[in-house]
């Protein structure tokens, strides 16, 4: 963990025996959860860097991890085709969500914490009740594996991105597919709602990002400029910017309203593995396979700091809610 202001390494969280696939802060910033290909999740105290608990039970690598909005639960997705929900305080497994026939690629809590959505390589999304662990619905329609799933900010919609080159938007209450967003010519690797829920952005291996209107299902813009596959896309907290990244070793920051590329963040030799805005939107952090993280000023496009970790490639990054720790 690094201090955002100084770029100094605050602590090194060690204990996993294989590479770390995902990391996330609890909303209060007091805890960090890490998912690993060693089949475990570790929960760490942000202040001390101490490992609070090791969540064991998955039989294969853990692909994703997420805290519930109130921080009381942790959900983990695994290539063993299951999702596990754990109690943060005790480290006990509360429920094992079984039903997928292939590995689970992503997991997400609804904004109110009452539901868990999981995406799988079996081409489905499943929505589960957090309290009971029961499968509420199976969202079927994709013809290829589902790479990720997200809830809209109000929890009324679920968006799924698939290797079948489409995004599907589903109504949470009715389980019906509201729209199929078509236009990408290759796999869709990522999807995200804007903070107000009015837009959906999708990233694809066809080297483009598409921005869609949630209400009308229309493609509002096609953001072109990357020379290779795009696997990460994120909105700024105010929704005015979109950042996209991947194999051409650049990150592009686009203005949502005008569709113009505001800046191209360059200066690295390896591919970008992750991109994230700080909570106030003033910074953009990028992780690279060359073991570095670069932090850029959103307004100027200038590189503010280069954070180096010579031990391994970096696959995932996250800001704490107050933006002070990365």
**Is there a domain that residue 72 lies in?**
yes
The CATH number of the domain holding residue 76 is 2.120.10.30
**Is there a domain that residue 9 lies in?**
yes
Count of beta carbons in the 10 Å neighbourhood of residue 18: 12
**Is there a domain that residue 162 lies in?**
no
Name which of 214, 249, 218 is nearest 235 in CA terms.
214
Query: For 90-146, how does the pLDDT look when each residue is reduced to its tens digit (9 = 90+)?
Result: 999 999 999 999 999 999 999 999 999 999 999 999 999 999 999 999 999 999 999
Whether pTM > 0.95 for this model: the answer is: no
Residue 309: predicted pLDDT: 66
**Is there a domain that residue 133 lies in?**
no
**Is there a domain that residue 65 lies in?**
yes
Partnered with residue 85 across adjacent β-strands are: 75, 95
**Is there a domain that residue 40 lies in?**
yes
**Is there a domain that residue 200 lies in?**
no
Q: Which domain holds residue 10?
A: 1-98
Query: For 150-189, how does the pLDDT look when each residue is reduced to its tens digit (9 = 90+)?
Result: 999 999 999 999 999 999 999 999 999 999 999 999 999 9
How many Å separate Cα 213 from the centre of its chain? Answer: 21
> Is the model's pLDDT at 87 over the cut of 80?
yes
Q: Are 96 and 86 in contact (CB under 8 A)?
A: no
Q: What are the residues whose beta carbons fall under 8 Å from the beta carbon of 197, sequence distance 6 or more?
A: 152, 153, 154, 157, 214
Residue 267: predicted pLDDT: 61
**Is there a domain that residue 148 lies in?**
no
Query: For 217-262, how does the pLDDT look when each residue is reduced to its tens digit (9 = 90+)?
Result: 899 999 887 666 887 899 999 999 999 876 556 788 889 999 888 8
Token pair 């686009």: residue: 254
Q: Which two tokens stand for residue 225?
A: 């400029």
Instruction: Work out how many domains the chain is built from and give that number.
Output: 1
Name which of 189, 186, 181 is nearest 221 in CA terms.
181
């Amino acid at each position: 963990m690094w201090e955002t202001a100084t770029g100094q390494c605050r602590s090194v969280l060690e204990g996993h025996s294989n590479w770390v696939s995902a990391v996330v802060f609890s909303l209060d910033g007091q805890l960090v959860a890490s998912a690993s290909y060693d089949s475990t999740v570790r929960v760490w105290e942000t202040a001390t860097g101490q490992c609070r608990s090791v969540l064991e039970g998955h039989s294969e690598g853990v692909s994703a991890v997420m805290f519930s909005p109130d921080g009381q639960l942790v959900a983990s997705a695994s290539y063993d085709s299951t999702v596990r929900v754990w109690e943060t305080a005790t480290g006990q497994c509360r429920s094992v969500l079984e039903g997928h026939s292939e590995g689970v690629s992503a997991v997400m809590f609804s904004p109110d914490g009452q539901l868990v959505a999981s995406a799988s390589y079996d081409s489905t999304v499943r929505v589960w009740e957090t309290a009971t662990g029961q499968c509420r619905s199976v969202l079927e329609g994709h013809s290829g594996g589902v790479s990720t799933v997200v809830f809209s900010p109000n929890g009324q919609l679920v968006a799924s991105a698939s290797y079948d080159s489409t995004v599907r938007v589903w109504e949470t209450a009715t389980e019906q597919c509201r729209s199929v967003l078509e236009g990408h010519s290759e796999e869709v690797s990522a999807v995200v709602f804007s903070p107000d829920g009015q837009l959906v952005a999708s990233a694809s291996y066809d080297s483009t990002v598409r921005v869609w209107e949630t209400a009308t299902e229309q493609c509002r813009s096609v953001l072109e400029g990357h020379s290779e596959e795009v696997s990460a896309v994120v909105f700024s907290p105010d929704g005015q910017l979109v950042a996209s990244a991947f194999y051409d070793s650049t990150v592009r920051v686009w203005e949502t309203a005008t569709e113009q590329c505001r800046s191209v963040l360059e200066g690295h030799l390896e591919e970008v593995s992750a991109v994230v805005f700080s909570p106030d939107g003033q910074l953009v952090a990028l992780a690279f396979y060359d073991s570095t993280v670069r932090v850029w000023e959103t307004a100027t496009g200038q590189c503010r700091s280069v954070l180096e970790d010579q031990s391994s490639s970096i696959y995932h990054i996250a800001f704490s809610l107050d933006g002070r720790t990365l």
